[in-house]
Every structure is written in C-alpha cells, then in structure tokens.
C-alpha cells in the first residue's frame, strides 16, 4: 500500500494547460489518494462488497465494452442519431434498464428512459443521464459510461431490496444525440426533454439529404411539432438532473484523483463558413486575377486561430475598467474541424467551433471574426457567408446539488482508497454536455471521471475499471443520501 500526496500546480490563465478542454478552478487543494486492491472496502447500504464490485465494476465495464462494439462502421466506433447501430444500442440499453427493475420506453426523439416509480410517485423526479450517440472513430466511454453507471447503481438498489426506499422517482435517460454528428446541431435528445428544441429542427438535413423528420418517421416516430412537445418534461415535475461523464481533459489524472465535480460548462457556437470563388486553369490564370477560395479559407482559419490565441490583441481588453479580463477570457478556444472543397477548388466549406466560459467573450469573437471575414473576402474577390449551426450558452451547475455530489464522491473515494486528504476537485468543462440543455429545465450537477491522458473522441479513450467502480459507488451514495 502506498501513500502519496498530490498538490495542484499553479496555472496561469495564459499557460497552455489553461487552454485545455477541461480547466481546473481555484480552490482545489490536494487529493491524496492511494488505491487499495481487493475487496476490503467499506460498504454502502446493506449489501456486500462483492456485490458492488460485481455490478458496479465488472458488469458495468463489460456492458460499456459491449455497447462500444455496437457501431455503424466496420473496425471503428460510430453511432449517430437514430442510425441502425443506435437502434440496436437502444434495445440493449432498454434490456439493461429492465434488468435493473426499471420501467422503460423510448420517446419521440429516440431517447431511452428507465424509471423507478417511488412510493411517493408525486414527488419531483431525479433524472440521471448521458448520451448513447458517438463521434466518428469514437472511444467507448464518452456518453455510454454515464448511462451504464446510472443503470448499475439502480441495479444494486434493486438487488439490495432498497429501490422501495427511494424517496422520489428516479429516471435514467440515454439521450439519442449529444455529439451532433449527423445533423451538426447538438443535444437533440436532451433539448427535446428540456423543451428547447425548436420544431424547425425537424427540417434540418443530414449530409445524405435526409431530413430529421424523415429519419424519425423511418423509425416509427411521429416527428411533428406536437410529438416534440410530448417529449418535453414539466419543470415542476423534475427535481434535478445529474450526469456522470469522462473528464475529456488531463486535470484529474494530473492530480491523481479519479473523480471531480463540475462547476460550469462552456458555451459554444458552431458555424459553417462557405467561401465561393471561381474555377480556373492552374497554368493559365495569372495570380492577380485569381479568386481562390482555398487561400481565402486558409487566411480565415489562421485569423480564427489568432483571435482565440491572442484575444487581448483584438477585443477591448481592460483588467481595471470593465473590459474583458483575463478571467473572462478563460476557456476561450476556436477550432476548424472539417474542411471540404468542391469541385476541385471553387467552393470551400469549413466548420468553426468557438467556446468560452463567458458568453459575451464568445459573442465578441464571433463579431470580430465576421467583421474581418468580410474584409478578407472582399480583398480576395470571393463571396463568403456564415451559417450558425448551433449555439448553446454556458451553464452553471447548481451549487447545492454539486455539494451533494461532492460529498457522495468524497465518500466513494474514501471507500475505494486510504489517505484521502483535501477536497474532491472542482472543474470547469470546456466540452459540451446534455447537462447544458437540461439546465433549461432544472438544476444540474455533474461528476467527472478521470480518463487516461485526458484523451477522448478516440479509440484510445480509457477509464480504469476501479474508477468506474468509484463512480458507481458515488452514484449509490448520492441516491442514498439525496433522494
């Protein structure tokens, strides 16, 4: 048995680590943790430790792996909104929910629900969820882990005969779309449950030209504005929303702590930029007569990088007098993720993703980008347009709910380890989560789980089996003490 103390390094707001996807905030002191192997751990409720390990670790890990094999692609993981693989995943998740003693159904947006109706069925419901879709060439933990861990925690309650002790209904939801791969707009499932998905979304087309409405109807889902309204939950029927997710950043690993509590989630905007020039012969059109959208796009992409790398050079920046401050620029990141040109090089499209903890900073960057885009495109004699594909404002997690999750995580970590000193870390999320959409419906709280190297959206994504166990114990503890 080892004993080690971990302390948080000082991070300047402009240091590289501060720009990483997930950022650590202020007052984390230290987290001195040592793993204890074997089964000699404290117990939760009345169950035996072996039961918890079997369900919360071994079975949960097996299920995450099984879900990770359900893919639309050969050789890599890809599961997008209502794709054939998603339908198979829905069926599998439903079977696990039933196994945990939950009543299940699939709603009109393809979200899978598993509900335990407490004796006090009129009490507000605790929702616990994450998403079942993935990016292309994904890892198997992003989204799936949150869903499977929640089902496992309730399964332990069932096996312990403790489901009946829950003071309020508890519902696990596996949301149909968070990544936004298919329709380029994210949170389709959770936005519908939160009642913020506009009916016009049904008319959005995927890359193959299929409208969302057609895709839903193909799967026997009504896909009307009325059916969307049926998916929406009444705020007064809901107590809160909790989500467990991999951190997707390196902070927890760097301080050696398996779990952290999320304080807030960055806002994000996705744009599609179209640059139209004209075709010509590479050997005959003189340089001064060219209307080359490729070079214009390159200039725009570099501009975007400069805007987010050195925002102080572009925005009114004033630490003293109310302009943007170092703090407000925290978490500002811009990415061009996809670029295509057709035919040959006369039209170029590229995607832009802009995120910041402060919504006014994100808006100011978009404003600057649009202004400078017009100038660059005029100079280069090309036509440019931008289309807003998605906007989500930053969300704060509820402080009281976060405190409850923190206590639950602390208790789980103590059961898993010895020598826990200091607090469970508090983090900010640069990545988007269903919790953003759900914050429009109810108070939200999130637990982050460390992942190897902070890597996500890659087959290299990996979470230690014992960290999955710790997550399950934290959820169990939370359910026991807060519902």
Ligand X SMILES: NC(=O)N[C@H](N)C(=O)O
By the criterion CB under 5 A, which residues form the site for Mn ion? 142-143
Q: Which is nearer to ligand X, 417 or 431 (CB)?
A: 431
With helix as H, strand as E and coil as C, how does 114-177 read? EEECCCCCCCCEEEEEEECCCCCCCCCCCCHHHHHHHHHHHHHHHHCCCHHHCCCCEEEEEECC
Near ligand X by CB under 6 A, which window of 60-68, 167-175, 331-339, 430-438? Answer: 430-438
3-state SS assignment for residue 316: coil
Nearest to 440 by CA among 159, 210, 238, 211: 238
Q: Which does 308 bind (CB under 5 to 8 A by kind): Mn ion, ligand X, none?
A: none
Near ligand X by CB under 6 A, which window of 32-40, 98-106, 231-239, 426-434? Answer: 426-434
In sequence order, what DSSP letters do the residues of 414-459 get, joined into one string? HHHEE---SPPPEEEE-S--HHHHHTTTS-EEEEEE--GGG--SST
Select from 71, 130, 185, 186 the one that contacts ligand X (CB under 6 A).
186
Q: Does 243 bind ligand X (CB under 6 A)?
A: no
Q: Which does 471 bind (CB under 5 to 8 A by kind): Mn ion, ligand X, none?
A: none
Closest approach of Cβ 287 to ligand X, in Å? 39
CA distance 441 to 445: 13
Q: Which does 358 bind (CB under 5 to 8 A by kind): Mn ion, ligand X, none?
A: none
Q: Does 240 bind ligand X (CB under 6 A)?
A: no
Q: Which does 247 bind (CB under 5 to 8 A by kind): Mn ion, ligand X, none?
A: none
How does 104-123 read in b/e, with b if 16+ C-beta sit within 10 Å? Answer: bebbbbbbbbbbbebeeeee
3-state SS assignment for residue 201: helix
Q: Which is nearer to ligand X, 60 or 186 (CB)?
A: 186
CA distance 474 to 483: 13
Q: Does 250 bind ligand X (CB under 6 A)?
A: no
Give me the half-sphere count of Cα atoms (radius 13 Å) on the Cβ side of residue 31. 25
Closest approach of Cβ 134 to Mn ion, in Å? 7
Cβ–Cβ under 8 Å, residues 339 and 302: no
CA distance 312 to 323: 10
Stretch 366-405: interaction string toward ligand X, x if CB under 6 A: ----------------------------------------
R_g (Cα) of the chain, nearest Å: 24
Near ligand X by CB under 6 A, which window of 291-299, 321-329, 425-433, 447-455? Answer: 425-433
Nearest to 361 by CA among 402, 317, 400: 317
Near ligand X by CB under 6 A, which window of 1-9, 11-19, 178-186, 316-324? Answer: 178-186
Question: What torsion do the CA atoms of 219, 221, 225, 228 make, to the nearest 10 degrees?
Answer: -110
Closest approach of Cβ 381 to ligand X, in Å? 34
Q: Which is nearer to ligand X, 7 or 396 (CB)?
A: 396
Near ligand X by CB under 6 A, which window of 96-104, 233-241, 276-284, 427-435? Answer: 427-435
Nearest to 454 by CA among 23, 9, 6: 23
CA distance 212 to 216: 6
Give how many residues touch ligand X by CB under 6 A.
8
Q: Does 179 bind ligand X (CB under 6 A)?
A: yes
Select from 85, 192, 194, 431 the one that contacts ligand X (CB under 6 A).
431
What kind and span of H or E run contains 190?
helix 188-194
Q: Which does 186 bind (CB under 5 to 8 A by kind): ligand X, Mn ion, none?
A: ligand X
Closest residue to ligand X in the complex (CB)? 431
Q: Which does 243 bind (CB under 5 to 8 A by kind): ligand X, Mn ion, none?
A: none
Distances (CA, A) of 169 to 55, 160, 235, 321: 22, 17, 15, 49
Q: Which is nearer to Mn ion, 143 or 260 (CB)?
A: 143
What lies within 8 Å, CB to CB, of 284 at 6+ separation is: none
Near ligand X by CB under 6 A, which window of 364-372, 428-436, 460-468, 473-481? Answer: 428-436
In terms of phi and psi (left: phi > 0; alpha: psi -120 to 50; beta: otherwise), the region of 344 is left
Select from 389, 433, 440, 443 the one that contacts ligand X (CB under 6 A).
433
Q: Which is nearer to ligand X, 133 or 292 (CB)?
A: 133
Select from 432, 445, 454, 472 the one that contacts ligand X (CB under 6 A).
432
Binding positions for ligand X, rule: CB under 6 A: 142, 178-179, 186, 248, 431-433
């Amino acid at each position: 048995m080892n004993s080690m103390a971990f302390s948080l390094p000082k991070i300047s707001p402009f240091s590289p680590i501060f720009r990483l996807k997930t950022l650590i905030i202020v007052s984390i002191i230290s987290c001195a943790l040592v793993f204890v192997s074997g089964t000699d751990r404290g117990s939760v409720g009345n169950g035996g430790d072996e039961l918890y390990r079997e369900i919360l670790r071994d079975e949960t890990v097996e299920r995450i792996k099984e879900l990770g094999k359900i893919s639309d692609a050969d050789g890599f993981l890809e599961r997008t909104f209502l794709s054939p693989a998603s339908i198979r995943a829905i069926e599998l998740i439903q079977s696990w929910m039933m196994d945990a003693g939950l009543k299940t159904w699939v709603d009109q947006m393809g979200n899978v629900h598993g509900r335990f109706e407490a004796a006090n069925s009129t009490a507000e419901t605790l929702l616990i969820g994450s998403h079942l879709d993935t990016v292309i060439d994904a890892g198997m933990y992003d989204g799936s882990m949150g869903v499977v861990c929640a089902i496992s925690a309730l399964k332990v309650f069932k096996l312990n005969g403790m489901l009946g002790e829950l003071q309020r209904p508890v519902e696990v939801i596996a949301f149909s779309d968070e990544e936004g791969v298919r329709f380029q707009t994210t949170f389709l499932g959770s936005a519908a449950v939160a009642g913020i998905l506009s009916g016009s979304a049904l008319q959005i087309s995927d890359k193959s030209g299929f409208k969302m409405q057609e895709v839903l109807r193909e799967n026997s889902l009504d896909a009307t504005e009325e059916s969307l309204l049926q998916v929406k939950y009444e705020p007064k029927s809901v107590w809160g929303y909790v989500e467990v997710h991999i951190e997707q950043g390196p902070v927890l690993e760097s301080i050696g702590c398996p779990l952290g509590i999320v304080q807030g989630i960055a806002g994000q905007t996705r744009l599609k930029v179209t640059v139209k020039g004209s075709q010509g012969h590479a050997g005959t059109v003189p340089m001064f007569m060219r209307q080359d959208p490729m070079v214009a796009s390159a200039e725009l992409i570099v501009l975007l990088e400069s805007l987010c790398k050195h925002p102080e050079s572009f925005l009114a920046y004033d630490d003293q007098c109310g302009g943007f401050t170092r703090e407000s620029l925290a978490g500002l990141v811009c990415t061009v993720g996809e670029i295509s040109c057709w035919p040959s090089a006369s039209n170029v499209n590229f995607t832009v993703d802009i995120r910041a903890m402060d919504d006014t900073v994100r808006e100011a960057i978009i404003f600057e980008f649009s202004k400078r885009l017009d100038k660059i495109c005029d100079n280069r004699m090309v036509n440019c347009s931008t289309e807003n594909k998605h906007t989500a404002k930053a969300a704060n997690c509820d402080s009281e709910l976060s405190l409850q999750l923190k206590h639950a995580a602390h208790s789980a970590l103590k059961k898993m380890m010895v020598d826990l000193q200091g607090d469970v870390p508090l983090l900010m999320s640069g990545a988007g989560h269903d919790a953003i959409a759900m914050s429009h419906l109810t108070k939200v709280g999130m637990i982050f789980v460390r992942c190897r190297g902070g890597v996500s959206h890659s087959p290299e994504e990996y979470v230690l089996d014992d960290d999955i166990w710790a997550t399950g114990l934290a959820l169990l503890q939370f359910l026991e003490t807060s519902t």
